[in-house]
Structure 1
Amino acid sequence: MQLRVTFVAAARSSSLLAERFEDDRPLDQAGWDEVLGVAHELLPLAAAELRYCSPAPRSRATGDALGYSPLVQLGLRDCDMGRWRGLTLGEAMAREPESVDAWLADPRATPHGGESLLTFISRVGEWLDTRPVEDGGRVVAVAEPAVIRAALVYALKAPPSTYWNIDVRPLSATTVTGRSGRWNLRFEGVPTQPARA
């Protein structure tokens, strides 16, 4: 029996350079415009038997705007960044450069007083592994890009440092299939465009 879990990255609440740790701001106008622009592509995912989202305002708003009516899942919350919550990476670096370097280099480090990268990946993986398995069951989960990166590292059993090499764009969809402890990354086919003469 296999489960199909499609993660949809929440629309943005700020520019990429202004992304904040544990950002709890609502969608900005650009985020709403982006949701409206891709809704027709992501709307079919509303047919999933189970529809979830992280507790972050932008994830809930994205899921609602796409017609998913998702249930909030605490296991999908962003990484607990302790005293760096609400800061950008640049702001944290300006205040505590050695601590940020340690956090980026060691997946077990918690210089901010919150969750380590390894603990974060494990928590998101535990959420993934505890989804109800029904043959052919489909799940959609709207979450922050960081949560989706953690889920992919876990699903692929990749080293934690891989987390830093995964780019998850707002409103992108990524699917894993399988069951507890055995997940596969699935790339969806893109319709080919006829060649122009």
Structure 2
Amino acid sequence: MALRVTFVAAARSTPLLAERFEDDRLLDQAGWDEVQRVAPALVPLAAAELRYCSPSPRSRTTGDALGYTPLAQLALRDCDMGRWRGLTLGEAMAREPEAVDGWLADPRSAPHGGESLLAFVARVGGWLDTRPLEDGGRIVAVAEPSVIRAALVYALKAPPSTYWNIDVRPLATTTVTGWAGRWNLRLEGALPQAAP
């Protein structure tokens, strides 16, 4: 019995270099344009038996724009960044360079007062492992890129440092198949590329 979970990265709400921790902004015009451009390839995922999303505005809006009508899942929220919430990485580095260095180097640390990388990966992995298992069951989840990176680290049982080496572009899809404790990454055909 295998489950198929396809993650769809939320469309953009800001230029990539201006990404903020726990960003609550809606889609910007570039994000809407990207959704329209790739919708023909992504709309068929609405046939999934279960449709979820991160609770962020851009994840919910992306899912709705694609016709998924997803159910927001608290476990798929972005990493709790404590006092760094709303900051860019550069802004956090300017304020607390040693704390940011420590956070990037140690997956157990949470100098911002929020959630450590290990806790974040475990939370997202716990959500993945508790999905209802039906043979051939399909799930689609629109999520923040950070959530998808965490899911992949968990699913592949990769070292936590791998999280920093996974690039998830807006509207990219990633599929894992399997069941609790036994996940495989599934790479499929190419979709039209979203603008960088």
The TM tier, using the shorter chain, reads over 0.9
| 2:102 is aligned with 1:98 | no
Name stretches of at least 5 consecutive residues in structure 2 with no aligned partner.
Answer: 192-196
* Alignment of structure 1 residues 1-197 onto 2, 5 Å: 1-190=1-190
Q: Deviations over 1:161-188 (max 9, x none)?
A: 0000000000000000000000000001
Structure number with bigger Rg: 1
How far residue 189 of structure 1 moved from its aligned partner, in angstroms, is 3.0
For 2:6, what is the secondary structure of its paired residue?
Answer: strand
d(CA) in 2 for partners of 1:33 and 1:189? Answer: 22
How far residue 190 of structure 1 moved from its aligned partner, in angstroms, is 4.2
Please report the RMSD computed on the Cα atoms of aligned residues, expressed in angstroms. 0.8
Q: Which amino acid aligns with 1:55?
A: P
Instruction: Calculate the TM-score normalised by the size of structure 2.
Output: 0.96
Instruction: Calculate the TM-score normalised by the size of structure 1.
Output: 0.96
| Distance of aligned partners of 1:87 and 1:73 in 2 relative to their CA distance in 1, 3 Å threshold | same
Name stretches of at least 5 consecutive residues in structure 1 with no aligned partner.
Answer: 192-197
d(CA) in 1 for partners of 2:7 and 2:60? Answer: 13
Q: Where do 4+ consecutive residues of structure 1 move more than 6 Å?
A: none
